[in-house]
């Protein structure tokens, strides 16, 4: 089972997240690349239409101003929509991850399909993973970044509230349209219409920052958690206990830490529980994959 989920994380979940990110930068935002040119065309067409309606010589300046106002309205609308799309994609990224986690929990931990008729939310999934598999996901270095994404999604969906207040403390620059005001020094405004492109300003760089790419699948052996796992056995009542040596540090006892690059996961091993070396390797492989997914989220 561990090997199956290790593959599922790498070949399914991770690729979905990468594809989601690429869709924003490569397919959606390029559709807004020529707004200036489109605005000029709208102004020119509006001017020609206005001029064609006059029999006598019109007030050319007034007509030009009316045509320019058409372009300004287009600019304001489309730039707002572009910002709203960025904000909306941050919402989508969070919910994609949350649904992937629900899929994992319902199939790997709960008795699917009888175990539940509802997808567990992030809090419920955390508890199930902790209670059933003894993995504390809050110990991943990427957990704080993931929680920031959760706050961002809630803020973008609902506007002002607890999530926006917490996010403002963490990332004040998200609440100003001025790129160089990274500390929000120019003041803050209420968050009322973030999906309309106002009051919350996720940039393309911000979005990419929440989803660093997973490591390539061909990880060198010396960097692979499974290959760096060493078995040291000792006799114990009821069987054999194993220590794990990963990246040069040995952990043993009730809390066994398995790390992969910047990520880490904690496996709590009950005193009565005895795992074989092969079982430990499978757990290591699964956690390595899970660590990558947590980093991408």
Same domain, 21 and 130: yes
Are 151 and 77 members of one domain? yes
- For residue 236, the model assigns a pLDDT of 34
The predicted-structure confidence for 26-71, as pLDDT tens digits, reads as follows 999 999 999 999 999 999 999 999 988 777 788 888 999 999 999 9
Q: Are residues 189 and 257 in the same domain?
A: no
Between these two residues, 296 and 126, which has the higher pLDDT value? Answer: 126
152 and 58, same structural domain?
yes
Is 214 within a domain?
A: no
pLDDT of 275 above 50:
no
Among the three residues 185, 209, 233, which one is the final residue of a domain in this structure?
209
Alpha-carbon gap, residue 127 to 133, rounded angstroms = 10
The pLDDT of residue 127 is above 60: yes
Residues 277 and 168 in one domain: no
154 within a domain of the structure (yes/no): yes
CA 272 to chain centre: 38
Residue 99 lies inside a defined structural domain of this protein = yes
* pLDDT confidence tier of residue 18, bands split at 50, 70 and 90: confident
User: Would you state the pLDDT for residue 294?
Assistant: 53
The answer to whether residue 82 sits within a structural domain is yes
Lowest model confidence (mean pLDDT) among 6-20, 170-184, 230-244:
230-244
> For residue 98, is it within any domain?
yes
Within-domain flag for 215: no
Q: What is the chain's mean pLDDT, rounded?
A: 74
pLDDT in tens, 220-240: 223 323 323 333 333 333 333
Cα(274)–Cα(284) distance, integer angstroms: 15
Confidence of residue 283 (pLDDT cuts 50, 70, 90): low
What value does the mean pLDDT take over residues 247-268?
35
The count of structural domains within the chain is: 2
Where among 162, 182, 209 does a domain terminate?
Answer: 209
Give the mean model confidence (pLDDT) for residues 134-146: 86
pLDDT score at 230: 35
Rounded to whole angstroms, what are the CA distances from 141 to 30, 62, 260, 265?
A: 33, 60, 11, 9
- Is the domain of 193 the same as that of 65? yes
Residues 172 and 239 reside in one and the same domain: no
Distance CA 297, CA 295 (A): 5
Asked if residue 99 and residue 39 are part of one domain, the reply reads: yes
Residue (of 20, 22, 14, 19) closest to 217 by Cα position: 14
Task: Say whether both 276 and 144 belong to one domain.
Answer: no
Range of the domain at 161: 2-209
> Is residue 216 in a domain?
no
One-character DSSP codes across 159-194: -SSHHHHHHHHH-GGGG-S-TT-TT-TT-------G
Q: Are residues 14 and 136 in the same domain?
A: yes
Confidence category of residue 280, pLDDT binned at 50, 70, 90:
low
Is the same domain home to 130 and 174?
yes
Shared domain check, 184 and 147: yes
Is 19 a member of any domain?
A: yes
Q: Examine the pLDDT at 243 and tell me if it is beyond 60.
A: no
Give the pLDDT confidence score for residue 112 in this predicted structure.
72
Q: Which of 209, 235, 254 is the last residue of a domain?
A: 209
Residues 6+ apart with CB under 8 A from 131: none
49: Cβ contacts below 8 Å, ≥ 6 apart: none
- Between these two residues, 186 and 147, which has the higher pLDDT value? 147
Q: Residue 80: is its pLDDT beyond 90?
A: yes
pLDDT at 6 over 70: yes
Who has greater pLDDT, 121 or 246?
Answer: 121
């Amino acid at each position: 089972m561990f090997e199956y989920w290790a593959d599922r994380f790498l070949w399914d979940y991770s690729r979905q997240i990468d594809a989601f990110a690429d869709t924003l930068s490569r397919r959606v935002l390029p559709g807004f690349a020529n707004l200036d040119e489109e605005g000029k065309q709208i102004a020119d067409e509006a001017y020609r239409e206005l001029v064609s309606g006059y029999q006598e010589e019109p007030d050319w300046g007034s007509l030009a101003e009316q045509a320019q106002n058409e372009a300004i309205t287009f600019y304001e609308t489309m730039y707002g929509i572009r910002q709203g799309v960025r904000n909306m994609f941050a919402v989508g990224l969070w919910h994609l991850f949350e649904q992937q986690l629900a899929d994992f929990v319902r199939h790997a931990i709960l008795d699917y399909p009888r175990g539940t008729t509802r997808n567990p939310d992030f809090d419920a999934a955390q508890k199930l993973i902790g209670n059933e598999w003894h993995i504390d996901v809050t110990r991943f270095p990427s957990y704080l970044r993931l929680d920031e994404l959760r706050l961002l999604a809630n803020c973008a969906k609902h506007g002002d509230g607890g999530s926006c207040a917490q996010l403002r403390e963490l990332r004040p620059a998200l609440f100003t349209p001025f790129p160089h005001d990274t500390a929000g020094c120019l003041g803050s405004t209420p968050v009322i219409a973030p999906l309309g492109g106002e009051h919350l300003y996720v940039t393309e760089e911000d979005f990419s920052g929440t989803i660093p790419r997973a490591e390539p699948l061909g990880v060198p052996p010396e960097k692979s958690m499974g290959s760096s796992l060493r078995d040291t056995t000792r006799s114990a009542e009821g069987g054999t206990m194993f220590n794990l040596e990963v990246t040069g540090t040995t952990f043993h006892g009730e809390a066994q830490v398995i790390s992969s690059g910047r990520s880490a996961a904690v496996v709590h091993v009950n005193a009565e529980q005895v795992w074989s070396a092969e079982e430990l390797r499978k757990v290591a492989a699964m956690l390595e994959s899970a660590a990558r997914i947590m980093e991408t989220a």
